[in-house]
Amino acid sequence: MVDVIETLKPLEQSMIDFRRDLHRFPELSFEEFETTDKIAAELDAIGLPYTRTEPTGLWADIIGTATPKPGDRSDRTILLRADMDALPVQELNDDLEFKSSREGKMHACGHDNHVAMLLAATKALWQVRDQFAGRIRVIFQPAEETALGARKMLDQGVADGVDEVFGIHIWGGTRTGQISCSPGAFFAAADFFDIDFHGKGAHASQPHAGVDAVMMAAQFVTNVQAVVSRMVDPFQPAVVTIGVINAGQRMNVLAEDAHLAGTCRTFDAGVRQLVEQKLGEFAQTTASNFGGSAKVDYQHGTQILINDETSANRVRRITSELFGEQMFVDVDRVTGGEDFAEFMVGRPGAFALLGCANPDKGIPFTSNHSGAFAVDEDALISGAALYVRYALDYLSGR
């Protein structure tokens, strides 16, 4: 069996350096042109052919050359994925030597680490391709943050012929090197909605002469939470959040229009459908009660990310074997969305969390998407090793 840690150790510093370069020069969704070019240059340097996707991103196949053994999955393909887009967030880590150099842009979700880990894993797997049989497909995906990148790559055939998928996300909620991967629904479906209430303008001193869109919006914001508290099974998590309200032009004019935008998070397909249905009904009923109208635009975002039980158990076993049983920790389901779920539709796979907080080093437990998000880079070799071992174990039939 390949000693993955020893194989990766010579690559560790270059992995960290690559991550720091990406962190210093972040690019937003579907703008990752420089990032794609940098990855391509690294693959060119080792002689691994690749295919670019439009507008950004790329993928490559590493084909094992070993003679198949009984039980090997030499006819199978496993896909390893890293996302690579940054967020429109201002970095607050002023003392960081490789702080983002681009105003209002930051790798606040850690995708720079994902790219660096998978790139190191790719180099390691390329080095040991004579020790396995089968195909390992590595993909560097754009635009995860918009929930559009995975679908864009799927439309370009990156998962054609793939039998199993695996991904990792760096996580500010657990300690450096701790790994989590729960079977079943792990990340929520993340849906989005826009609602426009339309009434009738009037002088604020004569509200009876108009139809107040602010009142409609206010009633809806208050009452729609009953969908979660009174209509959804209390043993089924669900979240409805209104993040935007825009209404009115002047303090003495009855608002004719009000715009709301928000998100829904669910872990069950039936609950997802119920929430969508009831949200629309609440909007229409509220508008009707006031004599106005409502237009609802509900958009499905990410799918529910469901870890296959066998695949999740493989992550647990690998973690125990490589790092010790104490490094596998169970975490609650995540109400955030993750478009890696698109790759898991119709095929088994797993998505793991990799802890990166280390208060002893001044790297606190921090929420991803925060301008203060920071990573203990000691976690990177653990992530790269997990990528490598997962692929090799799958292809060997373990």
Q: How far is residue 186 CA from its own chain's centroid? A: 12
Domain range for residue 256?
Answer: 189-302
* Beta bridge pairs of residue 328: 179
The pairing of strands 184-187 and 305-307 is antiparallel
What average pLDDT values come out for the chain (398 residues) when binned by 10 residues?
Answer: 93 98 98 98 98 98 95 94 98 95 97 98 98 97 96 97 98 97 96 97 94 97 96 95 96 96 97 97 97 97 96 98 97 94 97 97 93 97 98 94
Are both 314 and 297 inside the same structural domain? Answer: no
Q: Give the pLDDT confidence score for residue 290 in this predicted structure.
A: 96
Q: Give the pLDDT confidence score for residue 398 in this predicted structure.
A: 86
Are both 35 and 174 inside the same structural domain? Answer: yes
User: Domain of 215: which CATH number?
Assistant: 3.30.70.360
Domain boundary among 287, 302, 317: 302
| Nearest CA-CA partner of 118 in 162, 170, 75, 164 | 170
Are both 54 and 153 inside the same structural domain? Answer: yes
Are both 196 and 130 inside the same structural domain? Answer: no
Q: Give the pLDDT confidence score for residue 72 in this predicted structure.
A: 87
Residues ≥6 apart with Cβ < 8 Å to 342: 150, 151, 154, 302, 303
| Nearest CA-CA partner of 85 in 28, 36, 140 | 28
Q: Give the pLDDT confidence score for residue 1 in this predicted structure.
A: 78
Are both 181 and 165 inside the same structural domain? Answer: yes
Domain tally, the chain: 2
Give, in order, the Cα–Cα distances in Å from 243 to each of 287, 323, 383.
Answer: 20, 41, 34
Are both 215 and 349 inside the same structural domain? Answer: no
Give me the numbers of helices (H) and strands (E) for the chain, helices first please. Answer: 10, 13
Are both 195 and 283 inside the same structural domain? Answer: yes
Q: Give the pLDDT confidence score for residue 166 in this predicted structure.
A: 98
**Beta carbons of 127 and 4 less than 8 angstroms apart:** no
User: Domain of 379: which CATH number?
Assistant: 3.40.630.10
Are both 171 and 311 inside the same structural domain? Answer: yes
Domain boundary among 272, 302, 332: 302
Are both 287 and 311 inside the same structural domain? Answer: no
**Stretch (H or E) spanning 284:** helix 269-290
The residue to which tokens 């490559």 are assigned: 60
Are both 351 and 373 inside the same structural domain? Answer: yes
**Beta carbons of 303 and 342 less than 8 angstroms apart:** yes
d(CA 127, CA 105): 35
Domain boundary among 302, 334, 355: 302
Are both 127 and 148 inside the same structural domain? Answer: yes
Are both 22 and 152 inside the same structural domain? Answer: yes
